[in-house]
Amino acid sequence: MEGPRDSDRTREQGIDFGSLAEDLATHEYPATTAELLADYGDAELSCSNGTQTFQSVLEPFAEMQFDSAGEVRQAVYTMVDDAAIGRKYYSDRTPPAPGEDREGPDESF
C-alpha cells in the first residue's frame, strides 16, 4: 500500500507549507517574526488558488514573538488571503450563503 505523499503531510487547512513545515517544526523557539522572516521569508505557501510567500503572510505580525511552530501556523491561517479558501461563499448548509444563488428544490440526505 502506498503511503501519504509529501504534500499530504505538509498541507493543513488548505495551505501546503512544503519544506517550511519541517523548518518551522525544528526551529528554536521562542522566535520573533523578524527572525523567522530572515530564515524563511522567501518560502512559498501553496494554496488551491495560488501561492504566497511566508513573508507576505507573516509581515503583519512584525512585533510578535512566537513560542512554538503551532503558533506560527495559526498566524499563517489567520493571515493567508482568500486563495486558500477554495470556492468563495460556498456552503453546503441551508439557507444559501451570502452571494450564493441556488436553483432547484432543497434536498435532504
Residue 105 lies in a domain: no
Asked if 17 contacts 45 with a C-beta cutoff of 8 angstroms, the reply is yes
Q: If you average pLDDT over every residue of the chain, what do you get?
A: 76
Residue 107 is assigned to a structural domain of this protein: no
pLDDT confidence of residue 1: 38
- Structural domain contains residue 97: no
- How far, rounded to the nearest angstrom, does the alpha carbon of residue 12 sit from its chain's CA centroid? 6
Domain count for the chain? 1
Report yes or no on 9 lying in a domain: no
Domain annotation covers residue 13: no
* Domain-located, residue 90: no
Segment 60-78 shows an average pLDDT of: 91
Answer yes or no: is 1 within a domain. no
The range of the structural domain enclosing residue 29 comes to 18-84
pLDDT-based confidence at residue 70 (cuts at 50, 70, 90): very high
Note whether residue 79 is domain-resident: yes
Q: What is the pTM of this model?
A: 0.65
Summarised one tens digit per residue, pLDDT across range 31-49 is: 999 999 999 999 998 877 7
